Structure 1
Amino acid sequence: MNFPNLLTTIRIILVPLFIYIFFSPMKNNILYGTIILFIIGLTDILDGYIARKYNMITKLGTILDPIADKITIFGVIISFIHVDLIPYEVFIILFVKEISLALCGLLMYYSKESQPLSANKFGKIATFSFYVAVFSILFDFPQIVSQGLIGLTVVLNIFAFFSYFTIIYTYYNKDYHAN
C-alpha cells in the first residue's frame, strides 16, 4: 500500500470517529468533529495530489478514493439530517447520484477492460463544494449563506452526475461507433 492509499484508508477510519464525536455528550463535540472533518478533507486533497504528482496512482486508490468520498458524504449528511441541520432531500439527491455512479463504476470495473470510473474535475468541484457547505454550517454562517451553499452543492453534484454519465455512455458505446 502506497502513501496516498494509506491517507485514503485513514480518511475512511476517521469518518466513524467524526460521527462518534459529533454525537457525543462531551463539551465542544461540534468543534472536535469539525477538526476531524477538516483532517478528512485535507487527506482527501493530499492523497490525490500526491498520487498524481509522484505518479503513485493505483487501481486500489481509484477504487478506495470514491468509497472514502461516499462514506464521508453519507456520514456527514446523515449526521446533519439527524440534528436538523440540512433537509433530507439533500440526502436523497446525493444518495441517488452516488449509488448510480457506484453501480456504473462497478460495471466498468468488472467489464472486459477492468477500467475503474476515475474522478473528474466536476466531481472534485462538487466534493469541494460539499466541504464548503458543511463548514459553513459548522462555523454557523448565516442560514441563507449555508442554504445557498447546500443548494449549490446539490446543483454541482447533479452536474457532476451528468458529466460522469457522459463518460460512462461514451465508454460503453465506443465499440459500437468503432464498427
Structure 2
Amino acid sequence: MNIPNMLTLSRFVLIPVYLATFLSGHIQIAFLILLAAGLTDILDGYIARTRGLITPVGVMLDPLADKCMMIAVILSLLITHMIPWQAAAAMFIRDAGMIIGSAFFHFRGKLTVPANVMGKLTTVLYYLAILFIVFKLTFAVTYLWFVISVSFVTSFIYIFQFLLLNRAAKSK
C-alpha cells in the first residue's frame, strides 16, 4: 500500500459521500466532492509516475475508482431527471463494459492498458458536461451526447491497444 494507492482508495470512499450529498439536494456541493475525487486522480497518477510507485494493483484500481464514481454520477443525474435515460444507458453500458472487461482480462493474466491521453481528455470532457448539467446550461445535454461519442471512440482505442499489447506479449 503506497500513497498513490491510498489516494485511489479515497476515491472509493468519496462515492457514498458524493451520493449522500447529491441526493440530499446539495448538488453544487456534490459537484465539488466530484472535483475533489478528480483531483485525487490527478495527484495519485502524478505521484505514481514521478516516484516510480506504479503497481499492478494501482493500474487496476485507478480506472475502477474512476468508473465507479462515474456510475454513481450517472445514477444520481438519472434519478433526478437531469439527463435522459438513453444518455445514462449509453454511459452505463460503456463504463460497466470497461469495468467488467478489465476485471475479466486482469484475472486471466492479461496485460492492462494504462490510462492514455484520450482517456484523460474524455474524463475532463465528462467533468465539463456534468458541470454544464449541474448549472442547467441549455446546451448541456447536447454536449453530453458529444462526450458520450468521444468516450466510445476512446474505448475502441483502448481495446485496440489492449489487443496489440497482449499480442506482443504473447509472441515474446
Do both proteins adopt the same fold according to a TM-score greater than 0.5, normalized to the shorter chain?
yes
Kindly report which structure 2 residues correspond to 1:33-112, keeping only aligned pairs within 5 A, or say none: 33-112=30-109
Deviation at 1:50, TM superposition (A): 1.5
CA distance in 2, matches of 1:132, 1:149: 9
Deviation at 1:109, TM superposition (A): 1.8
Q: Secondary structure at the match of 1:143?
A: coil
Aligned residue pairs, count: 172
% of aligned pairs identical? 30
- The root-mean-square deviation of aligned C-alpha atoms, in Å, is 2.1
In structure 2, the CA distance between the partners of 1:168 and 1:105, relative to structure 1 (3 Å rule), is same
Q: Which whole-Å deviations, capped at 9, do the CAs of 1:63-120 have from their partners, x for residues lacking one?
A: 11111111111000100011111112222222222233233323432345x5233222
Q: 2:146 aligns with which of 137, 152, 155?
A: 152
Kindly report which structure 2 residues correspond to 1:12-27, keeping only aligned pairs within 5 A, or say none: 12-24=12-24
CA distance in 2, matches of 1:15, 1:175: 35
Unmatched runs of 5 consecutive residues or more in structure 1? none
TM-score by length of 1: 0.86
Unmatched runs of 5 consecutive residues or more in structure 2? none
